[in-house]
């Protein structure tokens, strides 16, 4: 899993490309050497007073947060050391699973004393809190033990050939004081969560924070972790995504009240399950599909002034759920809020988005309920592009395909740095916001330069 973390990346930009055919064909051979190097650098787990090789996620975690946060720690550490993605996901899953099967009561902490006006919330919704530092140290011990065991023989599951993905990502702080975007690239979704059914899954997401980075970081850690354990995932992946957004919102709101956080985040994610694409979104982060050089609209962003939508065909699959009986403006006003125009349309005169995770003081007007859409993949699709409003506010959908094709022509079909050029285009057009762009190629970008034949009608 690759995530955008400015603490571990250049302040202004981060570029990621993964999954080229030449690299993936060698992953099985790289596994033993990776473990050899890791255990050479860490011949024993760190002692009780020694520093850990990762940053502990806060001081306390709720029981519901533990798996997502620990998986993020392990995957971040292993990815930073260039672990083959399938091996990293399997190692992280094994270490986290072993820790979760133990008695975690030794890590319990009492919540800090709340002010009197908040004490009733604790009584109504008691939450078990665990010591994050202790869990992080115990996780590294488990991870070290698993690496030692697997150095002798890597399990078959970690050596099974996986679908090869080419993903280009670029993110910049731009003119803003802080980088509040986060993104997730997780081709080894099943491996990270121990899913053993026959459906291959890959997950990609962009989260655009506001009022701080806490909500965006939280969503980038927990939405996919919650999705993986939703009971409806095998039969209704879009429903699982929708439920995961709501659950993550509820989890973060509890954390926000406890820790006095006021941030929020929009978000868009794509889950490719077998031959079907499922997308879910909150707010104005967006995803588009390009098929045989043509942009296919998948969604309608949530903005305060939106009053109607037009559903898109889904080739026999359950239809998109972004057309509600009451759309955004009506929904907000029905709850007692208002939508007003200042420099742009805003909810209650503040936020320029009408749905987001977090924004504790704007609930329920700013909803945490995601919309979803599903679409069958035929093999003729070129790529997905996920981006925040820092990109889409200045680059219209219809110009995406031309910009990408122009880059591929100049690079002889290499798509490794296409996201970087797209970000540069948005900046040149006047975007001052954080900008994150992720391009997920669904076929070899070199094939996109060949003359198109047998075009498939777009719905």
CA distance 133 to 141: 13
Write 409-412 long-range contacts (CB < 8 A, 24+): 409/449, 412/446
For 114, list phi and psi in degrees, rounded to 5: -85, 160
Backbone torsions φ then ψ of 262, nearest 5 degrees? -120, 5
Q: Estimate the crossing angle of helix 237-259 against helix 214-228, to 10 degrees.
A: 140
> Cα Rg for the chain, rounded, in angstroms?
22
Q: Which two tokens stand for residue 347?
A: 């909810």
The span from the CA of 131 to the CA of 134, in Å, is: 5
Segment holding 353, helix H or strand E: none
| Nearest CA-CA partner of 140 in 188, 77, 82 | 77
Rounded to the nearest 10°, the torsion over CA 210, 211, 214, 217 is 10
State how beta strands 129-131 and 60-62 pair.
Answer: antiparallel
Specify whether the CB–CB gap between 32 and 149 falls below 8 A: no
pTM over 0.85: yes
> How far apart (Å, rounded) are the C-alpha atoms in residues 177 and 417?
25
Residue 361 tokens read as: 């003081």
Phi, psi of 430 (to 5 degrees): 105, 5
* Cβ-contact 215, 358 below 8 angstroms: yes
The superfamily in CATH containing domain 162-302+355-448 is PPM-type phosphatase domain (3.60.40.10)
433: its two tokens: 């916001």
Sheet order of strands, 166-172 included: 13-18, 166-172, 435-441, 381-387, 286-291, 294-297
CA 180 from centroid of its chain's CA atoms: 14
Strand partners, 288: 297, 385
Q: What does the alpha-carbon distance between residue 409 and residue 405 come to, in Å, rounded to a whole number?
A: 6
Q: In terms of Cα–Cα distance, which of 227, 208, 224 is closest to 216?
A: 208
Contacts of 84 (CB under 8 A, 6+ apart): 27, 30, 31, 34
Residue 268's closest CA among 17, 436, 431, 67? 436
**Backbone phi, then psi, for 439, in 5-degree steps?**
-115, 120
In the chain, residues under CATH classification 3.60.40.10 are 162-302+355-448
pLDDT in tens, the chain (459 residues): 666 554 333 334 344 444 443 444 444 455 668 999 999 999 999 888 889 999 998 899 999 999 999 999 999 999 999 999 999 999 999 999 999 999 999 999 876 554 444 444 444 556 789 999 999 999 999 999 999 999 989 998 888 778 889 999 999 999 999 999 999 999 999 999 999 999 999 999 999 999 999 999 999 999 999 999 999 999 999 999 999 999 999 999 999 999 999 999 999 999 999 999 999 999 999 999 999 999 999 999 998 887 654 443 344 454 444 444 358 889 999 999 999 988 888 999 989 899 999 999 999 999 999 999 999 999 999 999 999 999 999 999 999 999 999 999 999 999 999 999 999 999 999 999 999 999 999 999 999 998 755 544 444
């Amino acid at each position: 899993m690759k995530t955008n973390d400015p603490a571990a990346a250049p302040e202004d930009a981060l570029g990621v490309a993964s999954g080229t055919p030449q690299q993936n064909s060698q992953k099985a051979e790289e596994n033993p050497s990776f473990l050899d190097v890791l255990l050479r650098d860490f011949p024993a787990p760190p002692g009780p007073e020694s520093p850990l090789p990762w940053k502990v996620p806060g001081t306390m975690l709720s029981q519901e947060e533990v798996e997502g946060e620990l998986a993020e720690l392990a995957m971040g550490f292993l990815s930073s050391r260039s672990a083959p993605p399938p091996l990293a996901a399997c190692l992280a899953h094994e270490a986290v699973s072993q820790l979760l099967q133990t008695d975690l009561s030794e890590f319990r902490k009492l919540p800090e004393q709340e002010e009197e006006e908040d004490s009733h919330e604790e009584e109504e919704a008691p939450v078990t809190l665990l010591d994050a530092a202790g869990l992080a140290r115990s996780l590294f011990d488990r991870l070290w033990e698993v690496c030692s065991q697997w150095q002798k023989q890597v399990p078959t599951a970690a050596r099974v050939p996986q679908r090869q993905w080419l993903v280009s990502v670029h993110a910049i702080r731009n003119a803003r004081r802080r980088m509040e975007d986060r993104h997730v690239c997780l081709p080894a979704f099943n491996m990270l969560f121990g899913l053993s059914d026959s459906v291959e899954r890959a997950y990609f997401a962009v989260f655009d924070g506001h009022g701080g980075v806490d909500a965006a970081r939280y969503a980038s850690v927990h939405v996919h972790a919650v999705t993986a354990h939703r009971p409806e995932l095998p039969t209704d992946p879009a429903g699982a995504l929708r439920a995961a957004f709501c659950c993550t919102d509820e989890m973060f709101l509890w954390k926000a009240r406890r820790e006095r956080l006021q941030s929020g985040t929009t978000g868009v994610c794509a889950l490719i399950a077998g031959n079907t694409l499922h997308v879910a979104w909150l707010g104005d982060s967006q995803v588009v599909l390009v098929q045989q050089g043509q942009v296919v609209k998948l969604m309608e962003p949530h903005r305060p002034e939106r009053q109607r939508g037009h559903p898109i065909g889904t080739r026999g699959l359950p239809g998109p759920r972004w057309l509600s009986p009451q759309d955004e403006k009506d929904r907000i006003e029905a709850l007692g809020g208002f939508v007003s125009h200042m420099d742009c349309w805003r909810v209650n005169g503040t936020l320029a988005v009408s749905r987001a995770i977090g924004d504790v003081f704007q609930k329920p007007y700013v909803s945490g309920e995601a919309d979803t859409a599903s679409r069958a993949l035929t093999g003729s699709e070129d790529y997905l592009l996920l981006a925040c409003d820092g990109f889409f506010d200045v680059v219209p959908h219809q110009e995406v395909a031309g910009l990408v094709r122009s880059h591929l022509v100049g690079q002889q079909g290499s798509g490794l740095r296409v996201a970087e050029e797209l970000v540069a285009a948005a900046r040149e057009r006047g975007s001052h916001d954080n900008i994150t762009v992720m391009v997920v190629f669904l076929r070899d970008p070199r094939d996109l330069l060949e003359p198109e034949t047998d075009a498939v009608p777009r719905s």
